[in-house]
A and B are shown apart, each in its own frame.
Chain A
Amino acid sequence: MSMTRRKALKTGGGATLLSLLAAAGWLKPGDALAQAWNKSAFEAKSMDEAMKALGGNAPAQSKDITFVSTPDIAENGAVVPIGIASAIPKTESIAILIEKNPSTLTANFDIPPGTDPAISTRVKMAQTSNVYALVKADGKYYVASKEIKVTLGGCGG
């Protein structure tokens, strides 16, 4: 696979490269990540844009990705608990995308070997929306979605 350096930095490959550099002691972890912050992906306004910026074009639907302790209805959009677990072998990263937020991509977690491919966090949701879990495993992308109804928005106001 041939990738220019710039391209490599933009995609997941960049994150791996940087984490390798970090492991080799060339860069401190914090510095490496700060440099690699994927601006174009986080500023994407639509699902397609965000998926493209992450390199996850046309991901396959997967039943092996589950939402754990995630509500169907969130009373307060400012604090919506989201838990995502992937049963796909060799899961490398898990991204949370919220379709109807001002910016779609919410978070992208890199899962090094030895770490369970399951994370939970809390997000903000502007309105009722589909939430997507985009999983990269063994170089391929998989996706699962869940609709969360929001009674009170968490952005603006």
Chain B
Amino acid sequence: MPDPMKIRATLVGDSTEVKTIISHEMETGQRKDAQGKVVPAWFIQSITATYGGKTVLSAQWGPAIAKNPFLAFKFKGGAKGEKVQITWVDSRGEKRSDEAVIS
């Protein structure tokens, strides 16, 4: 099981600001190890953020997103105490969901 994400969701005015750091290697498939063998690509391909059962942001990523990806965005609405959930799926089919309470 991959490490949990760090998610911070803050209510600013009438919008919710979401910032997250995901723990992931994001191997590009370009790098070679000490033996000169190519390290196979392994990266997050898709990520979805939902609030109240509704998708507030979704994205497809390539391997050029930096290691331990950072993502920030903002959506209208949200209420203190409610939860924002983020799910990602990587190129090995591994998956992780985490949620944060809006503060």
Contacts and interface: CB of A to CB of B under 8 A. Distances in A.
A89 interface: no
B31 A157 contact: yes
Nearest to A19: B55
B60 A108 contact: yes
Nearest to B46: A33
A22 interface: yes
Contact of B57 (A42, A105, A115): A115
A38 B15 CA distance: 30
A122 B70 contact: yes
B77 interface: yes
A110 B58 contact: yes
A26 interface: no
Interface in B56-103: 56-67, 69-77, 87-89, 93, 95, 97
Interface of B: 15, 26, 28, 30-32, 45-48, 50, 54-67, 69-77, 87-89, 93, 95, 97
